[in-house]
Structure 1
Amino acid sequence: MQQSSAPGTRAAIQDGLGLQGHYAEVVVPMWRGRGFHQAIGIPLEAVLADPLAPPLPITRFRAMACARQLYVFSVANDQEHAKGLFDTLVNRFSDTQHGGFYYSVDPDAHPFETEKDLYTHAFVIFACAAYYRLLGDKQALAVIERTLDVVNGLFPVDPANGLTVSKCSQDFATVTELARQNPLMHLTEAYLEAEAATGDARFGAALATLLQRFTQAFVDAETHCIMELPLPSENNWLEPGHQFEWHFLHNASSHPAFETSGLAAHLPFSYAFAQTHGVMPDTGGVVAALKRDGTVRDPNQRIWAQTEYLRAMACHEDDGQRAQLPQQIARFASRFLHDGGWHEMLDNDNRVIRAEMPSTTAYHLVGAYQVLT
């Protein structure tokens, strides 16, 4: 059996251009090549850093993963690959009987997990908006509009706060998970992208309603942080990466809905809380989760939280925060990037907690790198 050496780190990267170079040279070709299931025209869920290692077993393909890859290749201006991913998303995952999109299909591309998931539908809108920007394809516009109608017309509403639930049955009749922070954040991102791509005022109106209800339901008055579960849920927690992500969405878009909802007023404080309690001073690593009092709930460090910290810092209104960006880029690159791709999760001692590289992570990488010029 051929032995492969450990991948070299990217410690020499010191700026956004270096990160973009690694992305273009290593990450994007991976998902055109060995990370892409040619027979079905769909991205694999994950690959290993070692190209000589046996491929991971295929158990399913998620619509959300396909949508994130559609976004990646739309931003990369790869029209052919993006069109293939769009066709796969629509043809393989659409539920023509009940509406919306299946959560996943099996290895033969037949419906597998058929429940309806708000997170998935948010990414369908988001990715199709980016694809529409690329090609102006009217089919993409139709999918965006149809999915907006599904989210606001078919998905049930959490009676406690008026927000769209996270999960429900295939026919939308039975709620299986009430409103949660993460799907609603990505729905916010989707509405911002769709309004910018189409100019359709319906997305701005939907965003204004969403943020008004969201602020009341999820923002902790004492810390100003956005909790993962609606208040006053027991055993609630907050994720530093999400505080940074919300801060970026506001600063990058300057959408008036952030101000009118009152959410904008909390975001500088939630950023500071996350930076103070959720960023390790010795490595610059962003931990996965904090308790409400600022103590660490989950010390592991996932790559997506690091990239959200980078782009929030890059768009921060304070000069002192932006001045820290070169050091943070260097720390990130030296710990998380290597010649074979990236480490998905580390602990603070740089031990690899999760070795495989999910196809969904490329979306986080390009989202951050776009603003690091």
Structure 2
Amino acid sequence: MPHVPRSASQPEMTTLFASVQQHFQGVIVPLWQGPGWNADMALPYEALDAGHQPLPPQRYRAMACARQLYLFASLIGQVPGAEERGAALFRSLQRHFHDAEHGGWFYSIDPQGAPLDQRKDLYTHAFILFACAHYWEKVREPLVESVLNAALEVIARRFSTGDGLYEASLDRDWSSLGSGPLQNPLMHLAEAFLATLSVREDIAVERGLIELCTALQKRFIDTQHGVLMEKPLGAVDNWFEPGHQFEWYYLLESSALLRGSKLHASLERAFAFTEQLGVDQSSGAVQAMLDLGPDGGSRDATQRIWAQAEYLRALTLRPHSEAAVLRQLRALQEHFLHAGGWHECRDAHGAVSRRDMPSTTPYHLATCYSGLADYLR
């Protein structure tokens, strides 16, 4: 990982980071230990309102359960009750979402716990793999590793298209829905493969990760700018998202296996271009969606907290970035964190446009703060 020189701004950054970490463990995490937790279902509610009341549940998603499993696994040894909550989430993942008939995991269940959307999507399976890798690292229970292995097996056998890429979505019985590969699920699969490799040696996973990145370079990278498109090249109505560019950059730059790959070189080349088009340098706001081409520009200027977090995390791996890291950490605290939790979205003019707090967002803050902790170390 690149060496980061210390400077006069280091004490300020250390103090600021301590403040946002305290806010995370003292305000945000307790929301999901208390009002955000449905004890009857042993699942997190999908979202809380600004007054910390659960929004009336329409569904519970396996992906949200997995993200919270990662969250509490990451807090074992730091936050009281984290290990017990991790164990409950792991049991719920299997009890509520596992498809005993066809294998894999359902997308969602209804408020009473019956299967709702029974399709199998790569995004969900990637997060189950990601969460189980982190949870297994902490508890080393054989059952957790067996679920990790089951997720790897079903991803390789069911989702793989044989060319390094994977279908985004399949029907309950694994029949095709014609989805084809999409960037976002593939990114989280790469993240899950990296998490697996961080906890054990696995030649098949290593090979799958390299083949995935090779195929993404070929099928998703815009040759002019190096940005990673959301759909394969040539797809109708394509676009790219700055938040995903920064998220990919962090994954590639932080991996000794992937650093130096062609995909890494593309994202490295595209970094300044993405900043120029997608980040307001005065406020630090990251836009949601951008178009390429002759009429290129903003498609959606919404400012989402997850994209802010991913830009901040990516900056920790950039050379000579201390001023930018400090600026973005300030921007995250000032514009998105508040005494009762966080603002999920601001509109193009900076006004708060979503007041609910989804159970999936703490995952982004946890990974961001982990990157910041590494940077300051």
Conserved? CA contact 1:17–1:372, under 8 Å: no
What is the aligned partner in structure 2 of residue 70 from structure 1? 69
Identical amino acids, percent of aligned pairs? 40
Q: How does 1:219-230 map to 2 (within 5 A)?
A: 219-230=221-232
User: Within the alignment, does 1:93 sit opposite 2:88 as a pair?
Assistant: no
Moved more, 185-194 or 348-357: 348-357
Query: What do the CA deviations read for 1:14-67 (whole angstroms, capped 9, x no partner)?
Result: 63222111100111111011001000100110001213xx53111110000000
Q: Which amino acid in 2 is paired with 1:304?
A: W
Please state whether the residue corresponding to 1:297 is helix, strand or coil.
strand
Q: Deviations over 1:68-117 (max 9, x none)?
A: 00000000002111011001001111001111000001111111110000
**Could you tell me how far 1:281 is from its partner in structure 2?**
2.3
**Bigger mean CA deviation after superposition, 184-193 or 343-352:** 343-352
Q: In the alignment, which residue of structure 2 is the partner of 1:5?
A: none
| Cα deviation code 1:155-190 (max 9, x no counterpart) | 2628xx652110110011122421100000000000
Equivalent residue for 1:35? Answer: 36
Q: Which stretch shifts more, 123-132 or 146-155?
A: 146-155
- Assess if the C-alpha contact under 8 Å between 1:278 and 1:290 holds in 2: yes
Does the 8 A contact of 1:129 with 1:198 survive in 2?
A: no
Deviation at 1:369, TM superposition (A): 0.7
Letter in 2 for 1:67: A
The answer to whether the 8 A contact 1:105-1:112 is kept is yes
> Following the alignment from structure 1 to structure 2, what is the Cα–Cα distance between the partners of residues 273 and 110?
46
Q: List structure 1 segments (4+ residues) > 4 angstroms apart after TM superposition.
A: none
Does residue 133 (structure 1) correspond to residue 137 (structure 2)? The answer is yes
Number of the residue aligned with 2:366: 366
3-state DSSP class of the match of 1:299? strand
TM (norm. structure 2) is 0.91
In 2, Cα distance between equivalents of 1:90 and 1:116: 15
Other-structure match for 1:142 = 146
CA contact (8 A) 2:164 2:211 kept: no
Out of 345-354 and 74-83, give the one that drifted further.
345-354
What residue is the counterpart of 2:346 in the other structure? Answer: 346
- In structure 2, the partner of 1:356 is 356
Aligned counterparts of 1:192 and 1:232: Cα–Cα separation in 2: 29
Partners of 1:100 and 1:149 in 2: CA distance:
9
Q: Could you tell me how far apart the structure 2 residues matched to 1:368 and 1:286 are?
A: 15
SS of residue matched to 1:370? helix
CA distance in 2, matches of 1:35, 1:50: 11
Residue 154 of structure 1 aligns to which amino acid in structure 2?
A: R
Q: TM-score, normalised by structure 1?
A: 0.91
The residue number in structure 1 matching 2:158 is: 154
| Structure 2, gaps ≥5 residues long | 1-12, 77-81
SS in 2 for 1:371: helix
Gaps of 5+ in 1: 1-11
- AA aligned to 2:110 is D
2:211 aligned residue: 209
Distance 1:208 1:310 in 2: 26
Matches within 5 A, 1:1-373: 15-51=16-52, 55-77=54-76, 78-155=82-159, 157=161, 163-256=165-258, 258-260=259-261, 262-293=262-293, 294-316=296-318, 318-319=319-320, 321-373=321-373
Q: Supply the AA of the counterpart residue of 2:342.
A: W
Quick one: which amino acid aligns to residue 80 of structure 1? E
Q: Which has the higher contact order (CA 8 A, sep 6+)?
A: 1
Q: Is the 8 A contact 1:13 1:19 kept in 2?
A: no
Structure 2 SS opposite 1:353: strand
Distance 1:189 1:47 in 2: 27
Cα separation, 1, equivalents of 2:173 and 2:201: 31
1:8 aligned partner: none
Contact 1:14 1:330 in 2 (8 A): no
| Whole-angstrom CA distance in 2 between matches of 1:80 and 1:24 | 16
Q: Confirm or deny: 8 A CA contact 1:122 1:186 kept in the other structure.
A: yes
Contact map agreement 2:164 2:214 (CA 8 A) in 1: no
